[in-house]
Amino acid sequence: RKEVEQDPGPFNVPEGATVAFNCTYSNSASQSFFWYRQDCRKEPKLLMSVYSSGNEDGRFTAQLNRASQYISLLIRDSKLSDSATYLCVVTRSDSWGKFQFGAGTQVVVTP
C-alpha cells in the first residue's frame, strides 16, 4: 500500500466553481503535511502547509483529519490559472527531509 494516496482525477471544474479533494496517508507517525502544486513539465512548488486546526490562504482551504488520516484541499472561486496537478506531501518526525509525495490530483478549470 502506498504511503500517500490521491485520486488522480482529472477534476474538471467550471471557472468560478468550488472543487475539493482529499489525500490519505497510511503512516500514523506522519507529522507534517503540505500541498504542493505542479504545472505541466515544471517543478513542484509549495502551495500551503496544512495545520491541525485547518488553515486558509485566500481561496484555498486545507484541513487535516488525524483520526481518519487524511488531508483535504478546497479551492473556491476557481480560476483558469488554478489548472495544475496538486501534490499531497507528508513527512515523518524521524525523517524530516524525506518527503512522501502522492501521485497528484489533476485539476482542470474550464471557461
In this structure, which amino acid lies at residue 66?
Answer: R
Q: Figure out which of the listed residues 12, 16, 45, 80 binds other proteins, where binding follows CB under 8 A.
A: 45
What's the grid cell of residue 111?
471557461
Stretch that binds other proteins, among 10-18, 59-67, 72-80, 94-102 (CB under 8 A): 94-102
> Is 90 near other proteins (CB under 8 A)?
no
What DSSP string describes the chain?
--SEEE----EEEETT--EEEEEEE--TTEEEEEEEEE-TTS-EEEEEEE-TT-EEETTEEEEEETTTTEEEEEE-S--GGG-EEEEEEEEETTEEEEEEEP--EEEEEE-
Nearest approach in angstroms of CB 48 to other proteins is: 10
CB-wise, 40 or 67, nearer to other proteins? 40
Q: How far is the CB of 4 from other proteins (least distance, A)?
A: 7
Q: Does 43 bind other proteins (CB under 8 A)?
A: yes
- Region binding other proteins by CB under 8 A among candidate stretches 18-26, 41-49, 63-71, 75-83: 41-49
How far apart (Å, rounded) are the C-alpha atoms in residues 95 and 111? 42
Interacting residues toward other proteins by CB under 8 A: 2, 4, 32, 34, 42-46, 49, 87, 95-104
